[in-house]
Amino acid sequence: MATVKKDITEVSDKITRVKKIVKKRAERLKEKELLQTPISEGVSWKDLNFSHPERTVRIGTVFSGIGAVEHAFQRLGLKHQIMFAGDIEPKCKQSYFANYAIKEEDWFDDIRNFDATKYLHKVDFVIGGAPCQAFSMVGHRLGFEDARGTLFYEFARVVKETRPKVFLFENVRGLLNHDKGRTWQIIHDIFEELGYDVKFHVLNSCDYGIPQHRERVYCLGFRQKTKFEYPAPVPLEYIMYDFLEDYIDTKYFLKEKGVKFVTSHKNRDKSYTQINGDIQLCQKRNQQFNWHGDFVFHPDSELTPTDEAFDEFIFDVKDVEEKYYLSDKVVKYVLAGGTKNFKTSTKTDLDIARPLLQSMHKMHRAGVDNYVTHKGRIRKLTPRECLRLMGFKDSFKIVVSDTAMYQQAGNSIVVDVLIALLKQMDITKYGI
């Protein structure tokens, strides 16, 4: 708690100067209605192709965390070069360097001390989500009075110093109505004054493939006047259960995870299994306990995939460690309905997860965090499951403690929403 207090009350000459600028802007602000950019009614972003896949997109990120947009580029198989990245949290640097190629000299620890002028016209795409607690519904909502709120100006400064072709600024939806909309108008005006064509819309991750309710405002700035509409929602094909590490044994029929493994490209390449094979694979004595071997297709099975990309979310399946299961004492706490003055939901095993929080390691009540039951016992989500629910494939290496990983996952941007945006804007147009 002391850390939060320090963040909020932090004082420096720079922060004081920014607060004065904000105050003057607010005093002379001519209020106007800012409407969200429309959602596309054209071809679905899923069916769009990149126009210049041979190009390399030079990206720079601030408040980089665990590199959500970097992972999006990896998942899309797009050529990209990380020009700079940084985060004030040392353990984020551990995770970042374990998963992405970046030079030590291109990493910064504190954006307030980061001189981005050497990257002028050398970056195509700048991305960042300034700390959102200052504007969050569950935070103090002090806005620019909170030292973290003033960090938006650092993002704007980096955009000004690098002049990227396009930028993306992400934050909580509460930013739009903070101080009766004046805070967002100030931010919007500053982006326009920097010479950018500004678009924005609130998107929910469960509309873009990830079973988690997570609404964020995604603001794009284009250096050239650009006709752009936000990607349209797509039907949600998965539930939270599909992202769990454990699985329920069945007598003969495979559940969804088994079907996904057996029909995956990875399996077909390595020939772990076959379906309706002409010649039977070598039988194994433990075949009943794994998914390797022969399978037959039953036409009545509702789980039979019809889409070639069915293995988009193939995950490694393993048992969940005992430490993630809740003791009887903790179960009573998380499932408590509340007191006379405070009531909370006790639902677990949701199809669509509640928003993941950076403080998940603390185990809040069930109405705040996500809990699942397995074999009659209740447990919290594992760090790997949290990463999956943020759109990170199992190729992402975990090199920090559980506590740090929960925090990093909860602070990240959902990768799948970024993928939808990258496809919708055809990010390769801005590469070299």
Cα 139 to Cα 102: distance, rounded to the nearest angstrom: 33
Q: Indicate the helix (H) or strand (E) that contains 25.
A: helix 13-28
Please list, in sequence order, all residues whose beta carbon lies within 8 angstroms of the beta carbon of residue 57, skipping any fewer than 6 positions away: 73, 78, 79, 80, 81, 124, 125, 427, 428, 430, 431, 432
Contact 59, 70 (CB under 8 A): yes
In the set 132, 206, 219, 386, the catalytic residue is: 132
Please list, in sequence order, all residues whose beta carbon lies within 8 angstroms of the beta carbon of residue 3, skipping any fewer than 6 positions away: none
Cα 379 to Cα 216: distance, rounded to the nearest angstrom: 28
Q: Where are the alpha helices (DSSP H) in 77-230?
A: 90-99, 151-162, 174-177, 182-193
Cα 93 to Cα 64: distance, rounded to the nearest angstrom: 9
Residue among 48, 51, 117, 123 nearest 80 (CA): 123
Pairing mode, if any, of strands 166-172 and 197-204? unpaired
The reply to whether 132 belongs to the active site is yes
Pairing mode, if any, of strands 273-275 and 293-295? parallel
| Catalytic machinery residues | 132
